[in-house]
Structure 1
Amino acid sequence: MTKKLLIIAFTGLSCTMAFAADLYVRNGGAGGAYPTVSTAITAASDGDRIIIQPKANGEAYVENLIINKSLTLVSETNYAKYIIQGNVSINPATGRTVTISNLSSGYYGIYNVEATFPIGTGRTFINIVNCDLHNVLTDKVNFTTNISGCTISGNLKFSHGRCTANKAQSIAVVATQDNSPIGSDIEVYGNVSKSFISNSQANYNFKFSNNFCAGIYIYNIKPGSSNEITNNTIYNPSPADMGPLYVNLGNNINLGNILMMNNAASFVVGGTNACIQNKSTSVSITASYNVFTNTFVTEGNMTQSDNSGSMNLNFDNVAYTLTGMNVNAGNPGIKYTDLDLTRNDAGHYGGSNSWANYWPANNDNKPQVNYLSTPRSITSGTFNMSGSGFSK
């Protein structure tokens, strides 16, 4: 007899890191610290941590930063952010890892955290957590960006990596021709995008899950890939030319698969009344257990089952909530069950990657899990689980 083990809870997550040296930055160089972040970067070596004192009264360090080493930037004061009035540019190098925590761009809306154009091959890793920023533009060749718990007043553009629990104007996975590809997928989980989430990347599989946005648009896929758009909530109160789930590869003819499942959507009919649009004959779409307030209409080639239209759903794009007939409307399979072990709820709270894993993003300044991957059931073999988190 086959026994099934249901994963009920994940009780702990911890991580310790050792740094080569700690360099302090304080206003005016108080206590022998460095007076600016730039001077600390110049003095630092690979693997060092730069600990930055937030200035009083919301004052900023007025400087552009060029990070050309593997460094970690953190705040000296728990739960408080330091302000940089300037661009933060990260230069590439093989194996370079840059981690930025608790950075704020303040009220200065013209500055970006950005990757510079690479020279040669080799991958650079950028980790950005618990920051308030204007634009994040790490959409360059051979960059992996892991970003979590950030508020971005402008746009988030990256080329590969993991994006969880962020709030941005838009989120775009941008096309690059990586010459040092990495084996992991692109993962976009539990985010708010006030407009769209899109993919134009053809080097990696992608997984878009449990996001709240106004549309999901796919402009390219990896040849032979299997991709997932699952348990997202899509709400657009303005007329649009594209359906809420839209695929159009244009002149690209890459063959690949996209699973669209357990999504909940409502939109105002503009250029189309289609809930799902597939403009590309090379893309195979499997759509199931999606629910819409609109009449269920599709355009283009796809395999579909158990989708529903004209559903009574209530969306709140301020509190980011969804209620109504999405409850227990998702796939009934055990691998899709909700955190309370009931049938999957269509929309961003459904399934094991539930929105509730990530929000509220600043929960009483407690440490936050920014990624968790566990199987819902085990019938045989090895139990593999991975997770990560960060402190504020």
Structure 2
Amino acid sequence: MSMKGWLARIAAGSGLAVAALTAQAYTETSGGYNMPVGVTEISREVHGLHMLVFWVCVAIAVVVFGVMTYSIIMHRRSKHPKPADFHESTLVEIIWTTLPFVILISLAVPAAGTLIRMEDTRNADMTIKVTGYQWKWQYEYLGEDVSFFSTLAPASNQARQLGSGVDVNTVDNYLVDVDHPVVIPVGKKVRFLLTSNDVIHAWWVPELAVKKDAIPGYINEVWTKVEQPGTYRGVCAELCGRDHGFMPIVVKVLPEAEYQAWLAQQKGGEVVAAAEPVAATDAVVDAPAAAPVVAPAAAVEVAAAEPAVAAPAELSKDALIKQGEGVFKANCMACHQANGQGLPPNFPTLVGSAVVGGPAAAQIAQVINGKNLMPPFKQLSDADIAAVITYTRNSWGNDSGMVQPSDVATAR
């Protein structure tokens, strides 16, 4: 590899470290370096324990360093040229053994109570399964037939690319924003089941006092009950690979009515006829930013008499390529790179690829179902899948034809 190539890799590695630290810094919403108080009962308990331990440590440091400073000054050689010749003191031995024991027990009792409450996931109002991928999160609302992937927001993803020319200070919530946040209702106990599809990740939202590893083959449990609506941000807290710093977490907490409206839209994708308009709410306004339902992307219109399903529209090649470029940048560029060269051997090149240049049906199946380290993208709409496949089959010197949304709908 050339010197230029090595320097580029070093720069990329340095950028990863800086990005991870930046993302962590942006989650500190308390306005300083201290742990945030948070918006749950558990988070306040954790903050209280943190401050209790902090001040106990301060008191111990004052005493220990005070005694050390006094001894250094008052028993220096110039003042006491002949050192004391005593060897031991039973009383001192008892004191410095008993006192730390008492301090530790006094801290362990309240800490144990909080830890027990943190692990008590019983009587949850709802359950969300969280699966970590390199480098995104999948959220499945158990019992609701709602599932979607959450990835780094396109604006942050574009700005973080080497040589993008984008001033990151102009990007809102840089590196801690996503395309599809996980949405939960206020005042409800929500249980999260955490696992991973590849390597160890960690789901961490400081203001909720939630931090738990997502381990392949295991299910970890954690819960939260948020007391006020808002948007709360976190990051993956376990080094999980080259894009570790680019898989943030965004939790959007809505009032119950708005949450139910959001959930209904995710489950059905329904548009109410003009005869029965739906009152505008934040959930409805924000719905386009929410994740697509894992279902065919054809819209379902509720007519006055009976529903009718619209067939996938045929798109021109230019329209598919233009749309596919955006889908590729949001979902594929992290592994396959903007130039399609990938990162062999784990992430193969798309330039002259046998998959991209082979039968369209095989590529559709791989995009929908995933393969090896490539996660499934069945949460994308038929139009998005058709567009990104058409883009890859007609970019970087490839010329392998086009795919229509109807082809994807047939393959599902």
**TM-score in same-fold range (> 0.5):** no
Structure-1-length-normalised TM-score = 0.25
> By percentage of residues, which structure has more helix?
2
Higher relative contact order (Cα pairs below 8 Å, separated by 6+ residues) = 2
Structure ID, larger Rg: 2
